Structure 1
Amino acid sequence: MRTDDALAAVYQHYLTMEPYSQQDEHTYQLSDKVGSGNIKRVTTYSGIEILFSQVEYHQPFPTYFASETPIVELQFALTGERHVDISGKDYSLSIGQGALIFIHDFEAWFHPPAKELYTSFSLGIPVPLFNYAAAQLSKKSSIHFKQVLGDQVFKPLVFQLDSRTQCMIDSLIVALNNNDRSCLLMEAAALEILNRFMTQLFDLAPIPAGFSREDIRKLYLAREIMEASMVDPPSLLCLSRQVGLNDFKLKKGFKALFGSTVFEYLRQVRLNHAMKLLLNQGNNVTEAAVTVGYNNISAFSQQFYRKFGVKPSEVKKIY
């Protein structure tokens, strides 16, 4: 049984209001009279709501929605810009932005763009799951839903979407559109995204001895650079210059903060992404290897087997 059926009920109610109607277990279609497109939805075992919206309205079509249920949601604006009036406050995300939002007992008017493709991705997080994750991550401080929201009805924490998260979102979108999706892998990816932004937005990463908060910011930047340049990564010396840390501090801090060396981390990112390509897309082994930066297919297969205990060719046969 899921941890928060109330959250699922809120999403179900919203997604079956005019101008949407449910087509099957995971698809909510926009009325042809209003526009084109749909919303895909999967609810995981722990109650996480995973949604991908890809719609285009013919004309402006504001809709009203209200709920007393407390909600935590990770939102990502991919194309287009939707404006929302939430209890009298205007809220919107620009393309390439994300937000961790906290909301309770609210009224909202949604204003989607007209004659423009609007795509967004979101993760609805049950409040008990957020509070549990916060308790596990914040050993020295108390972070929970009520504390973050305070006496407000709505609070967004806005951030820029990075390349690694974009990769994970792309994989989840592919899975949402795949009838042979693995909901277990989808839940794991959703939790990884949640963990990533909770750690960053609430400054929950431990600070190694001899490092400052500014050093930690630079180490996160180094991680983003390595993830974005998976195919052609910079050398350690070049990376240290880009982020403004000497190579010794970069190596020591990266290991302390992320639990691996820079290039061990890069290898894990490559192999994880290769697994998602093999599971969710039509890539063969060679295509997956080259996409994540391997020119030596034999070396790729050996490292893949050491990490996952299965050969990449066998993954394609199974899935």
Structure 2
Amino acid sequence: MQARRTAGNLTEIVLPEPSPSADDEVMHWPSHMGKGGTRLCALDEGLLLGITQGSLHRPTRIAAEQPSCLVNLCFVVDGEIGAEPEAPLPALRGGAGVAFAWLLPQTTSTTELSQCHRLAAIDLSVSREFVQGWAETWQLSLPDAWRRAVEGRDVPLIETGGMPPAALGHARQLIGQAGETPLQRLRRESMALELLSEYLFARVEAQRRTPAGRQLAPIELERALDAASRLAGRLEDPPGINEIAREVGLSGSRLKLAFRQLFGCGVYGYVKALRLEAARCALIEGQQVKSAALSVGYTKAGHFARQFRDRFGIAPGRYGA
């Protein structure tokens, strides 16, 4: 990675294009940005995977060239990220649980990284042909914006969507996948493909369950995604529906509708699913059942065990054993 600091908080970087036969390219952030970096990995199927994690000393803006004719997705796992493509494209912003998707010609875009103790995000680039082939394999109709983009009829594609709780939990596991042995790279590739499929299935379902007469305004969806990010950071003691709705400037009824359209569940269902996914990840990392339950706000072991078993079909004490 070539990086240079320019005026203010703007850092210009040039990202290499990894070769499928090469080792991962690990790019460490300059010291003025913080501590962390990005791992780039070229996978089979024409997938380019980037895993970013670290901590930032101050808000930072990164200007970088985007590859042409690729669908680029960014999954925000922790922290907050904003994207500012060249005009007239709209800016995108979101925290944990938010995903961006865009299709750009060769151009420069600016990414804003907020000051935070923990930033984690996954970038995934795939060809339009890959997305179209995915839809044909599963015999699914892509959402309108995706279909226009992959057919080349309406470029660029800009979309902000929410990750279902299962996808967010999956993304957290992918963040922790390191190593460069063939088996480890194959594991990363499998997990990246699964994450992409989870997101695309979610977007297909979101369109299916959104009647034309009940479309939400973009600002309402943006505020609902803000609410989802806030809830993801407060799992131990989440606010009530009306409280979180007031925080983001929505009515309780519009927030419920937005969650149904974005995630296919209500606000309480979303929090419950997030809690169980976070507990599942904690168990995989080796935490004891009691510790995992308490970390996401469960104070009664029996209640946690029942809900965990109902969702995953196995008792938490046997999970990851």
Question: TM-score normalized by structure 1?
Answer: 0.58
Choose from 194, 202, 209 the match for 1:188. 194
- The equivalent residue for 2:224 is 221
Aligned to 2:309: 305
Give structure 2 stretches of 5+ with no counterpart. 1-14, 29-34, 55-63, 111-118
Q: How does 1:1-319 map to 2 (within 5 A)?
A: 14-15=17-18, 22=22, 24=23, 27-29=24-26, 39-41=38-40, 47-53=46-52, 70-75=69-74, 99-104=100-105, 106=106, 121-131=122-132, 132-133=134-135, 136-138=141-143, 142-145=147-150, 146-149=152-155, 155=156, 157=158, 169-176=171-178, 182-183=187-188, 184-193=190-199, 204=207, 206-208=209-211, 211-214=214-217, 217=220, 221=224, 224=228, 225-239=230-244, 241=246, 243-246=250-253, 254-255=259-260, 258-279=263-284, 281-317=285-321
CA contact 2:50–2:124 (8 Å) conserved in 1: yes
- Which stretch has the larger CA shift, 37-46 or 233-242? 37-46
SS at match of 1:143: helix
TM-score of the aligned structures, taking structure 2 as reference length? 0.57
Q: Which residue of 1 aligns with 2:57?
A: none
Identical columns (%)? 19
Deviation, structure 1 residue 303: 1.7
Q: CA deviation at 1:75?
A: 3.6
Q: 1:156 to 1:283 in 2, by over 3 A?
A: farther
C-alpha distance in 1 between matches for 2:84 and 2:259 = 39
CA separation of 1:120 and 1:261: change in aligned 2, threshold 3 A? closer
From the superposition, tell whether residues 178 and 231 of structure 1 become closer, same or farther in structure 2 (CA, over 3 Å).
farther
Partner AA of 1:49 in structure 2: L
Give 1:123 deviation, angstroms.
Answer: 0.7
Q: Does the 8 Å CA contact 1:277/1:283 hold for their aligned counterparts?
A: yes
The answer as to whether partners of 1:41 and 1:176 remain within 8 angstroms in 2 is no
Q: Note if contact 2:220-2:258 (Cα within 8 Å) is conserved in structure 1.
A: no
Secondary structure (helix, strand or coil) at the match of 1:122 reads strand
Check 1:230–1:191 CA distance in 2 against 1; reply closer, same or farther (3 A cut). Answer: farther
- Seen in structure 2, the aligned counterparts of structure 1 residues 214 and 53 have a Cα distance that, compared at 3 Å, is closer
Alpha-carbon contact 1:51-1:121 (below 8 Å) kept: yes
* Residues 120, 175 of structure 2: 8 Å contact kept: no
Counterparts of 1:95 and 1:262, CA distance in 2: 18
1:228-281: CA deviation from partner (whole Å, max 9, x where unpaired): 4322223344455552144xx7657755764434323322222222222323x3
Bigger radius of gyration, 1 or 2?
Answer: 1
**AA aligned opposite 2:73:** L
Q: CA deviation at 1:294?
A: 1.3
**Alpha-carbon distance in structure 2 between the residues aligned to 1:14 and 1:140:** 27
- Label 1:278 to 1:189 Cα distance change in 2 as closer, same or farther (>3 A): farther
Note if contact 1:240-1:250 (Cα within 8 Å) is conserved in structure 2: yes
For the 8 Å contact 2:84–2:92, the answer to whether it is kept is no
Question: How far apart, in 1, do the equivalents of 2:53 and 2:258 lie?
Answer: 40
Q: Secondary structure at the match of 1:175?
A: coil
Judged with a 3 Å threshold, the aligned counterparts in structure 2 of structure 1 residues 294 and 241 are, in CA distance, closer, same or farther, namely: same
